[in-house]
Amino acid sequence: MSPSSALTRFLKQGLTRAMCPLCRVAHKLDREYIWYFFDEYSTDDQTLDALRGARGFCLEHAAALRRLEVDGLKSTLGISTTYLDTLEGLAEELARLRPKDYFTSAPCPACAYRGDGLEKCARYLRDEMAETERSRERYAEGPGLCMPHFELVWSVATAEERDFLIEVERRSVEGLVRDLREHICKQGAEFRSEPDGAEAGAWERALALTAGWPPPTAPVGRPEDDAA
Ligand SMILES: [Zn+2]
Ligand SMILES: [Zn+2]
């Protein structure tokens, strides 16, 4: 299946920034889902059913909903309406629940939306690098993929593509190891100073490369600068 033009655009933006390109896609998908939630999804029965099955959004996406309200969008009515439906469902479930029953939740619908988009994008990233030399170069100039997204792209890559993934990732990790060592050394007894070169932010890049890049702090309710 070919990815939507929006997904393609998000991925290409990711390739031009010093970050995991799929993290960029994930952030855009999250924004997109939350932004349209009250416009369309909150009145869509399927989404309400999914939210009911999940017993509400996960912690991360619940936090994104809270930030909408901070933006002054008067979203509390929308949150109250959708969560009234979710909690009515939960009340019915609890009324039926017996000690011998299993109790598991369906996936958070925003996570599921992001997961679907990322899966398409993992395949698209693979194809894009096979077909476009410039994208391949851009990827190689960047830090590679965070570990969760490395795992995802790895799962759809051929042996030859995996060689390239390993090459970029290894270079990125080895560079980071050097920077972390430098960071530690400069804070040691000999220097007693704050690290100031490429090593200064090494600890943050170590967190990003392993767990994923953090989303932008710009409020969800305001248009993001898409220039890339
Ligand atoms: Zn990532
Ligand atoms: Zn979620």
Residues by chain with Cβ below 5 Å of ion ligand 2: 58, 61, 108, 110-111
Residues across the chain: 228
**What band does 1 get if pLDDT is binned at 50, 70 and 90?**
very low
Report whether pLDDT(3) > 70: no
Model pLDDT for residues 84-121, shown as the tens digit of each residue? 999 999 999 999 999 999 999 999 999 999 999 999 99
Per-residue model confidence as pLDDT tens digits over 53-93? 999 999 999 988 888 877 666 778 888 888 999 999 999 99
The pLDDT assigned to 184 comes to: 87
Calculate how far, in angstroms, residue 110's C-alpha sits from the geometric centre of ligand 2. Answer: 5
Ligand 1 midpoint to CA 20 (Å) = 5
Instruction: Over range 21-40, report the average pLDDT.
Output: 88
Ligand that lies nearest to the alpha carbon of residue 50, given by its number in the listed order: 2
What does the alpha-carbon distance between residue 2 and residue 84 come to, in Å, rounded to a whole number?
Answer: 37
Q: How far is the CA of 163 from the centre of ligand 2 (A)?
A: 32
Gap from CA of 149 to ligand 1 centroid (Å): 5
Q: Which of 122-126, 156-160, 192-196 has the lowest mean pLDDT?
A: 192-196
Q: Give the largest CA-CA distance in the chain.
A: 67
Long-range pairs for 146-150: beta carbons < 8 A, 24 or more residues apart: 146/20, 146/22, 146/23, 146/208, 146/209, 146/210, 146/211, 146/212, 146/213, 147/209, 147/210, 147/211, 147/212, 148/211, 148/212, 149/20, 149/22, 149/23, 149/26, 149/118, 149/122, 149/212
